[in-house]
Structure 1
Amino acid sequence: MLLSGCSLESKSCSTAGGASGVLFEASALPTTAPLPWQATFCADDVCHDGVVDDYDSIWFDAENDQLGTDPVTAHLKVVAADGAVLADSTTELTTSRHDVNGNGCGPIVWRAGAVVGADGTLTAAPTGEQP
């Protein structure tokens, strides 16, 4: 039997998971502000709350499984233990498609990144776009 244009080889797919969302990198915020910090971080209208207890790991991941090719509105608010607002900023970001396990194996996730400046403003960060 001849099968033209078909391959009987199976794909080798890993099983890594992934989630769509926005990753905020906030290491530029002043480490003189007292801990703990309270943070609210959003990808469009999906928001999460977090606490920063350590100046070495100031990253926030706002997951939102509704993201796709449309731009995403990212928002981050960070308040120090003494009530000082370290960041309260919103920006629009472009998402990038990521085939987490490669070879068309899925899952396909949509990611965007933002860097928080020392003044608390957000700017776009590269996320390693995939075709």
Structure 2
Amino acid sequence: MILLTNDLRDRLLANGRHQDIDHVPVVKFFNPVGAATWLITEMEADGDTLFGFADLGFGCPELGSCGLAELTSVRLPFGLGIERDTLFQATYPISVYAEAARRAGHIVECGGLLEKAAAAIHTRR
């Protein structure tokens, strides 16, 4: 599977030029035979360095960078690799996903948990 289409790459690069914004995730990658998930918001001009939220399945999801080449090179059982969730549609900025994940211990996409995280962030501001 091609992890990034030209459109997704363009959107990530555009977000990368404006790093001071709380971007909505553009793409979700996942390990089809494991617990790892990445919500990616930005790409640096080098075309490889991605920024977003990573959950490797150890109960401590975190914001940070990873390499597209690194994700592409992962070889999993049954000849699989890291995949892109083609149905993923982010509804909140990355800060809300991060808050919800900190509360749950893993990346969540449940609307109710995301709404509570968004409310908590709004209350703190």
Instruction: Give the TM-score of the pair, scaled to structure 2.
Output: 0.25
Instruction: Give the TM-score of the pair, scaled to structure 1.
Output: 0.24
Higher strand share: 1
Higher helix share: 2
